[in-house]
Amino acid sequence: MAMAYRKKDIHGKYELGRLVGHGSFAKVYHAKNLQTGESVAIKVVSKDKVIRVGMTEQVKREISVMKKVNHPNIVRIYEVMATKSKIYIAMEYARGGELFTKISKGHLREDVARNYFRQLISAVDFCHSRGVFHRDLKPENLLLDEEGNLKVTDFGLSASSDDSDQSKQDRLFHTACGTPAYVAPEVIGNRGYEGAKADLWSCGVILFVLLAGYLPFQDENIMIMYRKIHKGKFKCPPWFSPESRRILTRMLDPNPSTRITISKLVETAWFKEGNPRNSKKMNEEDDSPQVEGREATSESETLNAFHIISLSKGFDLSPLFEEKRKEKEELRFGTAKPASSVISRLEEVAKAAEFIVKKCESRVRLEGMDCGRKGKLAVEAEMFEMAPPFMVVEVRKDGGDTLEYNQFFSKELRPALQDIIWTAENSMAA
């Protein structure tokens, strides 16, 4: 007889169902969106436990990174909600479970393994183009949706190109992290490493596991296993094709300077063989709405629970999330200043950055004159009147590369707007 579970309503939006996974400070439940009837995963995090075990940074990082990387092969985060004691993270539900479960039953056919591998590389390449490095890639962090498409998850150990962990002198990361059997030799060696090259090593280990059904470097004694990793010596089983052996040799090169890059990997005949099931191009961003099942709504509904909660004294999440807001691709904030003050401030930013300004009623558009990685960077600000004198301003990328936008946002835009953003403290002071 199946065990019954108690259903719980969250903020009138989700019905919490069965437990599908758990960790030291969080539990993941299957849930139903009460508005659309669709399945989601809800990660429930205990604020007290997060603070007590010193995992605040990991939770902040996971949320901010997942909001930053929209890709068909990355688990999508829909919204963040909270009470005084819990944080609820609504995410895409991967009905197919972990890829690890498939591997535990035996190795995969080469064409099947290649399909999963292509999707993994597409997701990782996209993350790298956004300055995000996963640093804990392994089959347990690769999920499958109901159609069998791969979804990368668990960005708790990830890092960004502007992370404080990255040395300003050598631009290398120095924090050793990840799962031992999948970690690159330069990470173990504690001599600094490039996030992209370390991730690609882990992808190589995953490819070997998909094809073989076991790890390329393994030993009960972890120090012996580390020595094997440092030497980069592994033995392929007889069923590996010559092409897959060559790919693995180039990916599992212990010298990061000669290790194959993603740009060269995707041009190999083995990688291109067959037709990819995923129609999305490599490194393509998914611009579809982040909130599951949401149709075009009224202006006031663009403020989801996370943004409303962040303005509430009783549900203040700023100790957990404020530092990472700069990494989002959009900013919503409240202000008691008139629209003319906001527009004047944006015009000052545009002038300093040599951007062109275009105004139309309640919208202001800033456009750069130089072409970047994906054309000219464009930023749009739209103002919504709420209850006078309160107004909500939404600033978002309207063109160009997201990484370039994030840099402009953190260095130019956010500092210029900081003193006009409404907070509970300055409203009390007034």
Q: What is the pLDDT of residue 162?
A: 65
SS3 state of residue 111: helix
Q: Is 43 known to sit in a ligand binding site?
A: yes
- Beta pairing, strands 86-92 & 97-98: unpaired
Provide the β-strand partners of residue 189. none
Give percent of the chain with pLDDT exceeding 90: 36
The pLDDT value given to residue 85: 87
The verdict on domain 97-272 having CATH code 1.10.510.10 is yes
Is 136 known to be catalytic? yes
Number of Cβ within 10 Å of residue 345's Cβ equals 19
The pLDDT confidence band at residue 137, using thresholds 50, 70 and 90, is very high
Kindly report the pTM of this predicted structure. 0.65
The helix (H) or strand (E) run that includes residue 426 is: helix 424-429
Q: Which residue ranges make up each domain of the chain?
A: 8-92, 97-272, 329-429
Q: Which CATH superfamily, name and number, covers 8-92?
A: Phosphorylase Kinase; domain 1 (3.30.200.20)
Q: How far is CA 134 from the centre of its chain?
A: 8
Residue 347, Ramachandran bin (φ over 0: left; ψ between -120 and 50: alpha; else beta)? alpha
Q: Do domains 8-92 and 329-429 have the same CATH topology?
A: no
Mean pLDDT of 190-199: 88
Distance CA 430, CA 422 (A): 11
Spot the catalytic one: 48, 111, 136, 401: 136
| Fold entry, domain 329-429 | TATA-Binding Protein (3.30.310)
pLDDT at 390: 66
